[in-house]
Each structure stands twice: as structure tokens, then as C-alpha cells.
């Protein structure tokens, strides 16, 4: 099992800075995921609703008030691709 999320912060439109239980930090752009899905994911297109994200400590992932949660393993892998340090220096993608 991969590390779980212990802290989340909204850092831009559909972008979350995540901290994991192993100390790894990274930024994940959820825009493509949100735009490609309907149903409960449509609420996440609203910046005010998106900003209501919180850590679900039991599941070790992020969750929104409308019940949307995301696979923490997928988020860990995505966050490893862009670290907070490289994002702050304009590196990454």
C-alpha cells in the first residue's frame, strides 16, 4: 500500500498541493479528470465547491462535501510527477 494523504491545500483552479504520510509533497492538476466526467464530478467544476476539499483521515485521501473522493494511490503517483519544489521554480511538466 502506498502512503496516504495527510494534508491538502488548493493552489489553483483544480490544482491541489498534497502531503503524504511518507513526507512526499506534490501538486496534482485534477482539471482533466473533472472535465472528463459528469455526475457528482460536475460540482467540482465550481471553484467554491472545489475549495471545500478536505482530507478523509479514515481513507487517507481527499474528499468533497458531495461525497466525491479520489483514489489515494492514483493521487500519489500523479503527485510524484510534479513535486512542490519543482512547481515553485517553474519546472515540472
Domains with residue ranges and CATH for the chain? 5-88 (3.30.2020.10)
pLDDT tens string 58-74? 999 999 999 999 999 99
What is the reported pTM? 0.83
Q: Three-class SS of residue 86?
A: helix
E strand intervals along the chain:
5-12, 15-20, 25-29, 54-56, 61-63
- Average pLDDT of the chain? 87
pLDDT at 89 over 70: no
9 φ, ψ to 5°? -145, 135
pLDDT of residue 91: 40
DSSP letter, residue 69: B
C-alpha distances out from residue 19 to 42, 60, 79, 92, Å: 25, 11, 9, 17
Amino acid at each position: 500500500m502506498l502512503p496516504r494523504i495527510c494534508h491538502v491545500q488548493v493552489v489553483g483552479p483544480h490544482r491541489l498541493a498534497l502531503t503524504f504520510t511518507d513526507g512526499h509533497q506534490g501538486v496534482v492538476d485534477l482539471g482533466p479528470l473533472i472535465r472528463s466526467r459528469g455526475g457528482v464530478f460536475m460540482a467540482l467544476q465550481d471553484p467554491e465547491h472545489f475549495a471545500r476539499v478536505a482530507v478523509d483521515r479514515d481513507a487517507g485521501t481527499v474528499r468533497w462535501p458531495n461525497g466525491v473522493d479520489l483514489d489515494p494511490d492514483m493521487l500519489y503517483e500523479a503527485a510524484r510527477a510534479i513535486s512542490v519544489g519543482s512547481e515553485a521554480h517553474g519546472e515540472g511538466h
